[in-house]
Amino acid sequence: MIWSELAKTGVLIPEVGIGTWNYHAGPGPLRKGLESGALFIDTAESYGTEPVVGEAVRGIRDRVFIATKVSPQNLHRTNLRQSVDASLQRLGVDMIDLVQLHEPNPSIPIDETMGAVADLMDVGKIRFAGVSNFSVIQLREAQKALGRYPIVSNQVRYNLIDRTIEKEMLHYCQANHVTVIAYCPLARGLDRIRDCDPSGVIDELARMTGKSPAQIVINWCLCKDGVVAIPKGNSTEHILDNCGASDWRLSQEQLSLLDSRIQYRRRSRFDMMVRQWMPSPLQSFAVRAVNALPRGLRRRAR
Ligand SMILES: NC(=O)c1ccc[n+]([C@@H]2O[C@H](COP(=O)([O-])OP(=O)(O)OC[C@H]3O[C@@H](n4cnc5c(N)ncnc54)[C@H](OP(=O)(O)O)[C@@H]3O)[C@@H](O)[C@H]2O)c1
């Protein structure tokens, strides 16, 4: 496993971590992933997976980098404190390595939120502060509000078919030493990536390199400076396969093949705004409707 510096902290984290949204396979597969070097787990107060993460790290907690998230409705000072205390309890730890604001909440003053985060860092409950789904402007404001501590990461969607962050965010983070934690690095499933790979370049590269398709797809993210990835697998087989995305690199020529043959998109601000504010029942309906479309249309609608 290749380790990567978290922002400019001097602290190293594995470049492949383990995501746990919608994870329901118990502590065993997570533990196998940790033992294979993915000593970085991502969870959130909203996922319901903090207890299983706590179980998986028992006895090796000091070696694992634990990241969790506070939900946007809990960003007032008192709520944030309560949320972090509840996460500490569910995880069964006395300090969280990385607490991320899950999403911006424009109705709560960022100074109040970051003030509460700084207080929790002062007393040692939080080691590092991060954000998720923040724009460049929101990230700058959050950093200004946090003051003496750095914001070390922004967790954002990044994969072979959704390259929206390349418009602005990726360069900003690279220039300002903010680690990009790529979520959905497998685009929530290889079938979605295959929909955008009409010539079968992923399978071609898998044959050429002896790596699995998932490893090719995740490695593409890791080839970008300052990017680490947190794929989720619901089996030991998938989690171990994903660990094998590290320790090697696609060649420049192979990266160019992916760039030219995968049909990717960079979403507009309007598209991002609609996605962010669409109520979740409507989102689930939209996902089901899109999945029912024929392949070409499905790709465009996503
Ligand atoms: N901050 C945010 O707003 C946010 C949003 C979304 C996600 N996240 C984080 O990012 C993590 C990853 O994102 P995600 O879970 O949405 O999607 P993902 O990791 O891109 O994809 C997960 C899907 O890929 C499949 N898969 C995993 N490993 C595979 C392999 N080696 N070969 C073939 N298929 C494989 C999984 O199947 P199985 O489940 O059957 O193994 C699952 O269907 C989340 O778990 C969460 O921690 C954060």
**Per residue in 181-209, pLDDT tens?**
999 999 999 999 999 999 999 999 999 99
Give the pLDDT of residue 103: 97
In short, whether 190's Cβ falls inside 6 Å of ligand 1 is yes
Provide, rounded to the nearest whole percent, the portion of the chain with pLDDT above 90: 87
Give the pLDDT of residue 286: 72
Higher pLDDT, 111 or 280: 111
Closest atom of ligand 1 relative to the 237 alpha carbon: 31
Give the pLDDT of residue 264: 85
In short, whether 132's Cβ falls inside 6 Å of ligand 1 is yes
Average pLDDT over residues 73-83: 98
In short, whether 238's Cβ falls inside 6 Å of ligand 1 is yes
Judge whether residue 287 has pLDDT over 90. Answer: no
Provide, rounded to the nearest whole percent, the portion of the chain with pLDDT above 70: 90
**How far does residue 21's CA lie from ligand 1's centre (Å)?**
7
pLDDT bucket at 265, cuts 50 / 70 / 90:
confident
Judge whether residue 119 has pLDDT over 80. Answer: yes
Judge whether residue 290 has pLDDT over 90. Answer: no
Residue-averaged pLDDT of the chain: 94
Which protein residue's CA is at the shortest distance from atom 14 of ligand 1? 184
Judge whether residue 302 has pLDDT over 70. Answer: no
Closest atom of ligand 1 relative to the 185 alpha carbon: 20
How many CB atoms are closer than 10 A to CB 58?
Answer: 11
Contact between 188 and 283 (Cβ < 8 Å): no
pLDDT bucket at 297, cuts 50 / 70 / 90:
low
Structure tokens belonging to residue 282: 């409507």
**How far does residue 232's CA lie from ligand 1's centre (Å)?**
4
pLDDT bucket at 298, cuts 50 / 70 / 90:
low
Q: Give the Cα separation of 144 and 85 in Å (integer).
A: 25
Residues 6+ apart with CB under 8 A from 264: 160, 161, 162, 163, 196
Which protein residue's CA is at the shortest distance from atom 37 of ligand 1? 233
Look at the block and give the residue holding tokens 């946007």.
72
pLDDT bucket at 276, cuts 50 / 70 / 90:
low
In short, whether 133's Cβ falls inside 6 Å of ligand 1 is yes
In short, whether 79's Cβ falls inside 6 Å of ligand 1 is no
Judge whether residue 301 has pLDDT over 80. Answer: no
Q: Which CATH architecture has domain 3-267?
A: Alpha-Beta Barrel (3.20)
